[in-house]
Amino acid sequence: IGLEAGDQQVTLDPPARPTFEVKAERETNGGPDELSVEFELEWDEGESGAGGGGRLSIE
């Protein structure tokens, strides 16, 4: 997975079957409530997707 923002970039190599989480949240900090949906791929450091195929592009 390659991520870029301006002149910054990072490349990650997740395993073939990482943990996928979806979270819906409402944050109340004294002002207007903030709603969010988070999508996460999680894996233990050191696991890699070496040998896997495919491409993911997020723009």
Using CA atoms, how far apart are residues 49 and 14, in angstroms rounded to an integer?
Answer: 5
pLDDT score at 38? 93
Residues 6+ away with beta carbon under 8 Å from 51: none
* 56 residue type, one letter: L
Specify the DSSP element, H or E, that contains 21.
Answer: strand 19-27
Write out the two tokens for 53.
């195929």
Using CA atoms, how far apart are residues 44 and 46, in angstroms rounded to an integer?
Answer: 6
Instruction: Supply the range of the domain harboring residue 11.
Output: 1-59
- Count the domains in the chain: 1
- pLDDT digit string (tens) for the chain, length 59 residues: 888 888 999 998 888 888 989 999 999 988 899 999 999 988 888 877 665 556 655 55
Burial of 15 (0-12, 13-18, 19+ CB in 10 A): middle
